[in-house]
Structure 1
Amino acid sequence: MPLHFATISMPERVSLKFASCSRMASNAARRAEWRRQRRGNFQALGVAVGEFRVFLKEYGVVGLALGVIIGGKAGELVTAIVEGLLMPVIGLFLPGGEWQEWVVGEFKVGIVLAALINFIVVAYFVFFVSKRLLRESSVVKK
């Protein structure tokens, strides 16, 4: 049954008021302590983020990650170009596409030849793009 303020006598009202004030004060103190702890956590997080940024810049991790990502996608692109454009041209000179299945004794020469062509095209593509993108003025020599 809820208490109605009008049914409480004056001394009881005063004691309830002070009890609620002390509860409010303890809640406020708890909230203030919680805020101080949170602020410390955020400051520690800020220090960690700052150190992480320095690490990324100092060791060139971002450039490495971008290189790996772009290199992987460039490899897929070059593989598609080799399989979609270059191999059909080779197939014109060696009809039937059976050259990839050439075998000398136990050695599968055709597979190695196809991988070699793919590697040469990927290496040239990476060399060409890196030479265009990383000009002499943008590369810092140590």
Structure 2
Amino acid sequence: MAGKQGMNAEFKKFISRGNVIDMAVGIIVGTAFKEIVNSLVKEILMPLIGLFLGGVSFVDLKIVIAEATEQTSEVAIMYGNFIQKIIDFLIIAFVVFMMVRTINRIRERIEAKKRAEAEEAPPAPTPKDIILLTEIRDLLQQQ
């Protein structure tokens, strides 16, 4: 039983670490973000791209290898789905890039502001005990 309690304590320690919690939050937010981006791609961008291509839907693009018969279904290479996935990936990658770029720029501005404030701030006054020790040192050097 002692081993089980030790494992429980170890698991609690592991799960309460900041990086594990951050990772869980990232996964949850990432999943929700994926749904938003998928909706953007499938419901807004792809119809516009299809319109520019003459009403073609990428999902419908295929090469039929064997026609459907009464006993078998159609055998086809669905290259349109592949194209769709590539476009989805590129749009998602671009959106993530723009988010990271924006976050990095904001972070750089905050750090630059902190550096500027640190340069403008007067130095902290010397503590009294340091002043006293400096005076004692100087007096001892004079003797």
TM (normalized to structure 2)?
A: 0.50
Deviates more, 1:95-104 or 1:79-88: 95-104
Alignment of 1:91-130 (within 5 A): 91-104=50-63, 105=65, 106-130=76-100
**CA offsets per residue over residues 20-76 of structure 1, 9 Å max, x none?**
xxxxxxxxxxxxxxxxxxxxxxxx9xx949x73565326x11111111111111110
Q: Aligned pair count?
A: 91
Considering fraction of residues, name the structure with more strand.
Answer: 2
| Aligned AA (2:38) | T
CA distance in 1, matches of 2:40, 2:99: 16
Structure 1 residue 84 displacement after superposition: 1.9
Unaligned runs of 5+ in 1: 1-43
CA distance in 1, matches of 2:103, 2:25: 13
| Aligned AA (1:90) | I
What root-mean-square deviation, in Å, do the aligned CA atoms of Structure 1 and Structure 2 show?
3.2
Q: Rg: which structure is higher?
A: 1
CA distance in 1, matches of 2:88, 2:62: 19
Percent identity, please: 29
Q: Match of 2:39? A: 80
**Relative contact order: is structure 1 or structure 2 higher (C-alpha 8 Å, sep ≥ 6)?**
1
CA distance in 2, matches of 1:62, 1:131: 24
CA distance in 1, matches of 2:57, 2:82: 14
Unaligned runs of 5+ in 2: 66-75, 112-143
Structure 1 residue 81 displacement after superposition: 0.6
Structure 1 residue 99 displacement after superposition: 3.5
Query: Does structure 1 residue 57 correspond to structure 2 residue 27?
Result: no
Structure 1 residue 127 displacement after superposition: 2.7
Q: What SS does the corresponding residue of 1:95 show, helix, strand or coil?
A: coil
Distance of aligned partners of 1:130 and 1:57 in 2 relative to their CA distance in 1, 3 Å threshold: farther
